[in-house]
């Protein structure tokens, strides 16, 4: 996750700020807080779900709400910094991020947590864009390459460190607070960073910065909400007619947004998104690649987390460590593709990244099919590492390819739009998780029961159920119970089919029968989640294949234009 850089005049007339390196440490820490918060929450999702009694859609909103609020205000946050002062917006963002972290940590119900997470995302959108803007105006040109490298390194460190720290904090259960320290940790860190920024970071603004397009912000946000809300809530509410109306309405509102932006440009105003950027085929393709990648990754990561912890019953620590090969693969490929590979092989590197993503996902399908519910972290490490290599090979260089043909004077705005597309893609992907993964659980429940049926029958005989017809009735009732539980919006639900007394079972035998079924329920759930995850991976592979096909519209080599007069 990166922020946009609004173009600012070079500060050649003033000597470099002697405190700039201390200021850099502060603003990089602010960026680290945001990136860490995104990754640290993922492994804590099942713990949050269990503690607050959240439904699957409410769990999805805890992550997509953050991404959606961040995306909606990312470009606006950069504009506010240019207009009213970058340090001022940085401090406001830090303060808001810290307070909202406290609200997240003390939330007693899913609705409060979702609201606090949305505020957290909105304040991060005020904070994060200022980081690169402050770097741009604080450091001379000859030092910026080194500084931007440090910024990228911080991002990579957060990706690796976040899931592990999240697992440690959840497992440690500090003071009996469970998952809450993953948010409360931000409070002392945020306070210290706030006061350090207050004294070390200099103020700057752009007197020529364009005015805010508030109407555009409202229309774009409404259009995306109309898309994401029914995707997230539709399964839970039984797909009512209005959910499809909202999906259609999102298209209409986004069309109105485009019309508004065009009229604003015709009047000489400053649009939220410069639509002429999309006249460059490279930019339009790069936007699509970045969006589809983020949709697929958002879908993958949440359903993978639920499969490991809710399905297989793994701890947060084990799940966090299991993802380490993936993030190491990302760091390896991200560190080599831009500097060494893309200058020589061009977009073929991106093609290779797309194929690696598909291969990694296919490897996970094979591993889960081969080892079943007994799969280990080690048996997933190779496909996850390949998946991570593909992530870095696509994510790291795509910005340069997208900016080829885009004039230097609007490169900052273009990078902001591209980063916004990534955040929107994540929100849409998390919403799609309910469609592609959770909706598949009931259909896989029968296979889950099939996997343990022989052992259940054997244990029923040991419990005194020797009549074959009675055993068939018990298993039929168990199938209905498992199906209804998988179809319910809450993982803790106990449908009526699970309370019915099996026919032919006496009251004296009932407790023994229920004990047998309860003993095998975790394995059935594991088989069901594993099967739904495998099916969901094929959808993810389809998104990656579409993304890879779109890469043909990118230029053969990345050559961002620095002196272009117009978009071609």
89 CB burial (10 A radius; 0-12, 13-18, 19+): buried
Q: 392 near 337, Cβ under 8 Å?
A: yes
Could you tell me the two tokens for 46? 């099942």
Q: 400 near 558, Cβ under 8 Å?
A: yes
Query: Helix (H, G, I), strand (E, B), or coil: what is residue 313?
Result: coil
Q: 79 near 212, Cβ under 8 Å?
A: yes
CA distance 194 to 245: 44
At residue 70, the pLDDT reads 87
Distances (CA, A) of 303 to 56, 151, 185: 11, 29, 26
Could you tell me the two tokens for 150? 């440090």
Residue with tokens 């273009």: 414
Kindly report the backbone phi and psi dihedral angles of residue 404, in degrees, each rounded to the nearest multiple of 5, phi listed first: -65, 125
At residue 557, the pLDDT reads 84
Nearest CA to 457 out of 445, 447, 468 is that of 468
DSSP 203: P
547's enclosing H/E stretch is: helix 507-550
Q: 385 near 361, Cβ under 8 Å?
A: no
| Cα end-to-end span (Å), the chain | 28
The second-level CATH assignment, the architecture, of 1-209 is Up-down Bundle (1.20)
Crossing angle of helices 281-306 and 411-436, rounded to 10°: 40
Residue with tokens 């094979």: 366
CA distance 380 to 321: 11
**Domain boundaries in the chain?**
1-209
With the C-alpha atoms ordered 390, 383, 42, 195, is the resulting torsion angle positive or negative? Answer: negative
Could you tell me the two tokens for 131? 């980081």
Query: Helix (H, G, I), strand (E, B), or coil: what is residue 323?
Result: coil
Kindly report the backbone phi and psi dihedral angles of residue 560, in degrees, each rounded to the nearest multiple of 5, phi listed first: -55, 130
CA distance 208 to 455: 74
Cα-only R_g, the chain:
25
DSSP 175: G
At residue 300, the pLDDT reads 92
343 CB burial (10 A radius; 0-12, 13-18, 19+): middle
Crossing angle of helices 20-42 and 110-138, rounded to 10°: 150
496 CB burial (10 A radius; 0-12, 13-18, 19+): exposed
Give the mean pLDDT per block of 10 residues along the chain (568 residues): 41 64 85 81 87 86 87 83 86 94 93 94 89 79 70 73 84 86 90 90 75 84 87 82 91 92 84 81 90 91 89 89 89 82 89 95 94 92 94 85 74 74 86 83 87 88 83 86 82 76 76 86 90 92 95 82 38
Looking at the chain, the number of H-run helices and the number of E-run strands are: 21, 0
Nearest CA to 457 out of 503, 498, 517, 511 is that of 517
Could you tell me the two tokens for 155? 């991002």
Q: What is the pTM of this model?
A: 0.86
Query: Helix (H, G, I), strand (E, B), or coil: what is residue 404?
Result: strand
Q: 254 near 428, Cβ under 8 Å?
A: no
Kindly report the backbone phi and psi dihedral angles of residue 92, in degrees, each rounded to the nearest multiple of 5, phi listed first: -60, -45
CA distance 44 to 305: 9
């Amino acid at each position: 996750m990166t922020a946009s850089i609004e173009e600012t005049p070079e500060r050649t007339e003033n000597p470099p700020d002697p405190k700039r390196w201390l200021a850099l440490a502060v603003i990089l820490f602010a960026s680290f807080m945001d990136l860490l918060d995104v990754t640290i929450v993922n492994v804590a999702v099942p713990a949050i779900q269990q503690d607050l009694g959240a439904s699957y859609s409410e769990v999805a909103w805890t992550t997509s709400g953050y991404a959606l609020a961040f995306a909606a205000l990312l470009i606006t946050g950069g504009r506010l910094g240019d207009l009213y002062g970058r340090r001022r917006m940085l401090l406001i963002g830090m303060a808001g991020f810290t307070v909202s972290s406290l609200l997240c940590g003390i939330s007693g119900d899913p609705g409060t947590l979702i609201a606090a997470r949305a505020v957290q995302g909105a304040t991060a959108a005020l904070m994060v864009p200022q980081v690169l803007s402050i770097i741009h105006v604080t450091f001379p040109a000859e030092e910026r390459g080194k500084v931007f490298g440090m910024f990228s390194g911080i991002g990579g460190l957060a990706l690796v460190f976040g899931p592990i720290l999240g697992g440690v904090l959840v497992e440690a259960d500090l003071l009996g607070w469970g998952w809450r320290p993953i948010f409360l940790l931000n409070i002392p860190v945020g306070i210290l960073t706030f006061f350090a920024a207050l004294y070390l970071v200099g103020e700057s603004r752009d007197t020529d910065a364009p005015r805010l397009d508030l109407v555009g912000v409202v229309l774009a946000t409404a259009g995306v909400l109309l898309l994401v809300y029914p995707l997230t809530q539709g399964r839970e509410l039984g797909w009512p007619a209005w959910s499809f109306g909202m999906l259609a309405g999102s298209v209409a509102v986004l069309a109105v947004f485009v019309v508004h932006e065009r009229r604003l440009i015709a009047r000489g105003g400053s649009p939220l998104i410069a639509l002429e950027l999309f006249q460059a085929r490279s930019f339009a393709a790069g936007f699509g690649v970045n969006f589809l990648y983020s949709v697929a990754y958002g879908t993958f990561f949440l359903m993978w987390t639920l499969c490991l912890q809710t399905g297989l019953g793994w701890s947060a620590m084990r799940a966090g460590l299991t993802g380490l090969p993936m993030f190491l693969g990302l760091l390896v490929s991200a560190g080599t593709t831009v500097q060494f590979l893309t200058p020589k092989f061009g977009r073929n590197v991106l093609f290779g990244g797309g194929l690696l993503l598909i291969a990694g996902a296919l490897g996970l399908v094979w591993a889960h099919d081969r080892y079943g519910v007994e799969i280990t972290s080690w048996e997933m490490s190779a496909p996850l590492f390949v998946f991570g290599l593909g992530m870095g090979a696509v994510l790291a260089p795509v910005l340069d390819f997208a900016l080829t043909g885009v004039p230097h004077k609007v490169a900052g705005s273009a990078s902001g739009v591209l980063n916004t597309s990534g955040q929107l893609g994540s929100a849409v992907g998390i919403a799609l998780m309910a469609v592609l993964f959770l909706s598949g659980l009931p259909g896989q429940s029968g296979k889950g029961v099939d996997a343990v049926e022989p052992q259940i029958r054997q244990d029923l005989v040991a419990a005194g159920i020797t009549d074959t017809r009675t055993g068939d009735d018990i298993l039929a009732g168990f199938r209905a119970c498992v199906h209804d539980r998988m179809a319910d919006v809450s993982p803790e639900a106990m449908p009526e089919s699970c309370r019915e007394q099996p026919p032919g079972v006496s009251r004296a035998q009932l407790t023994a029968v229920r004990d047998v079924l309860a003993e095998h329920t975790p394995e059935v759930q594991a088989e069901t989640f594993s099967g739904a995850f495998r099916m969901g991976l094929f959808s993810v592979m389809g998104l990656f294949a579409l993304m890879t096909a779109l890469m043909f519209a990118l230029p053969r080599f990345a050559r961002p234009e620095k002196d272009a007069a117009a978009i071609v």
